[in-house]
Amino acid sequence: MKNIFCAVLLFIIASSSFSQKLKPYFDANEYARLLCMTERQADTTKYTLQTPYPTGYERVFRSEITGLDNRWDLWLSGDSVAIINVRGTTVQEVSWLEDFYAPMVPASGHLKFGKELFNYKLASDTTAAVHTGFLIGLSAIAPTVVQKINEYYNKGVKDFILIGHSQGAAITYLLRSYLYYLPYGTIPNDITFKTYCSAPPKPGNLFYAYDFEYITRGGWSTRISNVLDWVPQMPITVQTKYDFSQNDPFTPVDSTLAANLGFIPRVIIGLIQKSIIGSLSDSRDELIKYLGKELYKVVKKNLPGFVEPRYVKSMDYMVCGSPVVLVPGESYKQKFQRAPGIGGIFTDHMPPAYYYLLTEEYLK
């Protein structure tokens, strides 16, 4: 009887593993095809494609443009793996507005658009916080993403890859978290999700990053960055003492200094600490003012009915996800020489640069 039970258990495990088409950890060939899909988010009447067509995949859905020029594509492979491809920043001013509207809001809560609420939960940690502009992007695409996941699940699709480049990568972080924390029954619970965030800006604070890395542990999320690309360093980040956990070192250090140092050293160290902490807090407040309250005046003109959320008093952004680092050599620098003007600053950021480095480092 025991042997029969073990045999049945092994059969169930084997059946489950064979039915799951996606494997964890970075796959260079897989990512190459995703980059090819990503480049096809561009307007090809104004842009010449530089990557090959992703053979074996078909684009089966393209969403309407919503939010602040947000859009996503659904691709399907011959063996029924679905790819949710989130568009990055476009040439439209409102798309840039989404990038720079960068104060943080709690990682759980709601956004209000007139009479409509977008309820979200992106982390279990109450100290987690995320980028407001990217959250608006998530709110724009989330309803159709959930709808299509359920539609294609009913057609037999149980494996989904989430991919975004640049702004699309930041939204992809939040989308993965959103899908994980959806109320039970909103989407089926036996779906496998794998996430690629390509050239990603930072999506939230350290505690959001911790949560994201925990829910995608075991190789189910990858962050890919070209070391010459400046976008993964964005948004501008300031850390103050208030960004630390509650068991921060500052109060005990102060008491230790008070107990063990003489009067003059205590005064000098106290003045230095007060000056540094004050300067950092002032910088944080200025960023929240101009990237938050002032930019909101422009955002609400493009999103009628959007109610300004309550911002978290922090600008301590953190990178997120397991890293894959692309390091350019001389051949890359010869091929991707920066043109003068604003276009040149994106030379190292665009999908063709990433595709070239991927090919040089992984696929040759």
d(Cα 107, Cα 208) in Å, to the nearest integer?
7
**Each residue's pLDDT tens digit in the chain (364 positions)?**
555 544 444 444 444 444 689 999 999 999 999 999 999 998 766 678 899 999 999 999 999 999 999 999 999 999 999 999 999 999 999 999 999 999 999 999 999 999 999 999 999 999 999 999 999 999 999 999 999 999 999 999 999 999 999 999 999 999 999 999 999 999 999 999 999 999 999 999 999 999 999 999 999 999 999 999 999 999 999 998 888 877 665 555 555 555 566 667 666 666 666 677 778 888 999 999 999 999 999 999 999 999 999 999 999 999 999 999 999 999 999 999 888 777 789 999 999 999 999 999 999 8
Domain annotation for the chain: domains and CATH numbers: 25-246+275-363 (3.40.50.1820)
Q: What is the pTM of this model?
A: 0.90
Position 282, amino acid: D
The confidence score (pLDDT) of residue 314 equals 95
Helix 295-302 and helix 93-100, axial crossing angle in degrees, nearest 10: 140
